[in-house]
Structures are given as structure tokens and as C-alpha cells.
Amino acid sequence: MGSLSRRNVLAGGAVAAVGAMGITGCADGGNQAGAPSGDGHTVAGKPVHSAPPGAAGSPVAASARLIGDGSTSDSGAQPHQPVPERLEPGQRPPQFVVFSWDGAGEDSKKLFSHFRQVAQETKATMTFFLSGIYLLPESKQDLYLPPGHKPGASDIGYLKDEHIRATLQQVGPAWLEGHEIGTHFNGHFCSPSSGVGTWSPSQWRSEIEQAVGFVTKWRTHTGFHDLPALPFDYSKELIGSRTPCLLGRDNLLPTAKALGWQYDASSPGGNQVWPGKRGGLWEFPLQSIPFPGHSFQVLSMDYNMLANQSNANINGDPAQRPYWQHQSYASYMAGFNRTYTTNRAPYFIGNHFESWNGGIYMKSVEQALREIAVQPDVRLVSFRQLVQWLEAQDPAVLAKLRTLDVGQKPADWRDYTGGKPAARTAPAKAPATASA
């Protein structure tokens, strides 16, 4: 498949044709965790004070109420959350940017802990989509009953026991620092015949219940009794997801809505415009962004860069890697600059904790994150925080913002966020001329 027909590639291992465009999305798990081998930060004017770096295994508050087998707990409202405010009439919206991570496990690469530290340094909050089986020991894999597959089957690997422990030591402190813990479900099946794209709403419910169960019963499954409970009630905190391979969301949405979820981040074909709802959930897609050096765009995810640069080979030409790293960084920045300087639509970047092509995508996304973080009026938030801000806005204002096209810059923000309409100057009339 030529590069022009591969513009937005989205699901590792599975390529779905959409018109003339081949799409590929979230990776198939290769080289993911477990795969075989604020002060000054505000949301609409309210400060978000970053928590001090939490020590791994920090205990929950003594007043926390343990849930079930003690794997999770109710420790009250999540700390370090912004208080959303409505836009003032005529106010230009802040530039929201969401960095999200699929899989979100801690293995020997220690990328979960690294990006928690990056978040501390940049006053950012993020969304970590946790794979449920990353808390299930491989020795207990038959407890996982994936829809349409034999017990214990998975297209991503199970974590080693020491990496399950390390992941638990990241998840709790991350939540206490204000980050969101979403879900990336479990087995990451991309097959066109039996993968998540074929699942019914009831099969999705089974997958979700199991993902939640692995998070809420890790103590029973692992036998780790020396680690503190996770400081949240996952059944209440979980309000959104990204599906494996960006597939299957049509049948997921009814189940997600019934469970009270509030958003879905699985769409592979989004543009940089203000989000709306689909099936009653906010739709936060991966977005098509400029791809320097090409006439086509690429989706805002590391796997899509990989697919277009080295044909999805995670060990591509080492001589090309410096160029590819700069190109992916430039693409992230081009996407940011296009919306930041025009319609201010929220910007979504989705990545994995991976080391593809020598780790160049981890370097490029961190470089972009740090550069974006210092720009005026930028809010680095989680999907959960963005939902709360959107829900606080005047629906009529959001509807007007959704009329702004990609790269469209308002002449006057009062035309979109209210207030006295901008004065219009009538075109000057041509001077009258005397007839002969």
C-alpha cells in the first residue's frame, strides 16, 4: 500500500479501508508494557495546584474506606482538580490539550513513572488508559474470559509479577496527583473476524466488567498484601475509554452510556474542531494533523507516525531515526499551532509507553509536551477534566464553537462566545460622478 493511501493508519496489525484511505490506529501491543518482546496551571481562571511527587506505594488516607478485598478504597474527592468556569461573554477559549496513554503499565522501561515526572515539571494532568490484565498475573490468566476467545487469550502480553507491582505503585500516586485512570480494556484483539470490532454490546459489558474486576481484585489475584489500596473507587472514577485498535465503538457506546460513562476517545477520523456528543457521550477522537514533508495528514498518535515512517516496522532504519523523530515532533507541534492560533479546538494526542524505532516517539512527544506547556493560555488536562469544563459551558456557546472549521480563526470571539456583537463597518460606497 503506497504512502498516500496510508495517510491515517490506526490499528496495529489491522488495517481497515475507509474510502481511499487506509486507517490504522492503536498498536497491537508489540513493545508496549507487558508485550513480549499546579501552581500557575489554570482551567478558565481557576488554579490547579500540582501535587508533590508521590512516593511509590504512598498509603491512602487513614480515613479511606476499603472496598471489597482491599484492592481499592474510597478516599474522597480526587485531589488537585480544577473548578470549571463558564466562558465570559466574548472570551477566547483556553487551549486545552490532552495527552493520553494506551495500556499504561510500568515495565523495565519505566515510562509511566517518567511521564508522571514530566507532568510534575510541566504542571500537566493526563489520562492513563489502564489495561485490566496488566494487574492480573500470567499464572492466573485463565481468570480472563475474553469474548470470542479461549480463556486467558490476549493479543498483548501479561506483565511479569514485578511489573504488576511496579504498575500498582504508579497508578495510585498518579491518581493522587490529579491524573485520570481510564481503561484500555484487556486483551487488545484486532482481528477482523473475532476482534473487538465484532463484539456485541453484551460482550463489551463482559469485557468492561472483567477490566474493572482485575483492578478491584488485584490483591486477591496477586497476593500482594504489602502494597496500599488504590485510593479510588474505580466503578465511580471510570468514565471513559479508548478501544483497542480504535475499533468496535458503535456497539460499545450503548453499554458505556448505560454504565454512566461520559466520553469515548476511540474515533480514528477526527478533525481539529470542537467536540460534540455521539450516543450520549462526548466524542474525543484522535485527530488528523499536518505531517511535515507530506501532502496528507496523519493521526495524532505514535503508531500512526511509525506506520507512515517505517511501514509499521518497530525496528526501522537507524539512519532515518533522527529525521523521523524531528518529523513526528514537528507534526505534533503543527497540530497544536493550527488550533492554538485559530479555532482553539481541544487538541488530543494519544501514545503508548513504547520504544519503537529506538524510542524516538517518546522523545518527540515529550519535546512537544514541554514546548506546548509554556505557551500562554494552555491547559494540559485529562479527558475527565475536559468533560467537566464542557459540561459547565452554555450549550449554545458550544454549538456556536462547533461551527468553526479546521484552521478557522474568528474575526471577533464575541461572535462565538457571546457579548456585544462586533461592530460591522459597511463597505464604502463609490463616490457619485456627474453625468456628462
- pLDDT (0 to 100) of residue 63: 73
Q: Which of 24, 17, 2 is nearest to 268 (CA)?
A: 24
Q: Which of 364, 421, 353 is nearest to 103 (CA)?
A: 353
Helix, strand, coil percent content, the chain, rounded in steps of 5: 35, 15, 50
- pLDDT (0 to 100) of residue 417: 97
Cβ-proximal residues to 248 (8 Å cutoff; 6+ apart), any chain: 195, 196, 197, 198, 199, 204, 266
For 340, the 3-state DSSP assignment is: helix
Answer for the pair 284, 273: CB distance below 8 angstroms, yes or no.
no
The DSSP element (H or E) to which 219 belongs, if any, is: helix 218-222
- pLDDT (0 to 100) of residue 430: 41
User: Which parts of the chain register pLDDT below 50?
Assistant: 1-25, 27-59, 425-436
Instruction: Report the distance separating Cα 249 and Cα 282, nearest Å.
Output: 13
- Beta-carbon count within 10 A of 98 CB: 24
pTM equals: 0.86
- pLDDT (0 to 100) of residue 424: 53
Instruction: Report the distance separating Cα 161 and Cα 224, nearest Å.
Output: 10
Burial class of residue 43, CB neighbours in 10 A (0-12, 13-18, 19+): buried
Instruction: Report the distance separating Cα 294 and Cα 324, nearest Å.
Output: 13
Give CATH superfamily name and number for 3-49+66-414.
Glycoside hydrolase/deacetylase (3.20.20.370)
Q: Which of 389, 381, 385 is nearest to 84 (CA)?
A: 389
Return the HEC string of 227-281: CCCECCCHHHHCCEECCHHHCCHHHHHHHHHHCCCCEECCCCCECCCCCCEECCE
- pLDDT (0 to 100) of residue 220: 98
- pLDDT (0 to 100) of residue 43: 38
- pLDDT (0 to 100) of residue 69: 96
- Beta-carbon count within 10 A of 198 CB: 16
- pLDDT (0 to 100) of residue 147: 97
Burial class of residue 151, CB neighbours in 10 A (0-12, 13-18, 19+): exposed
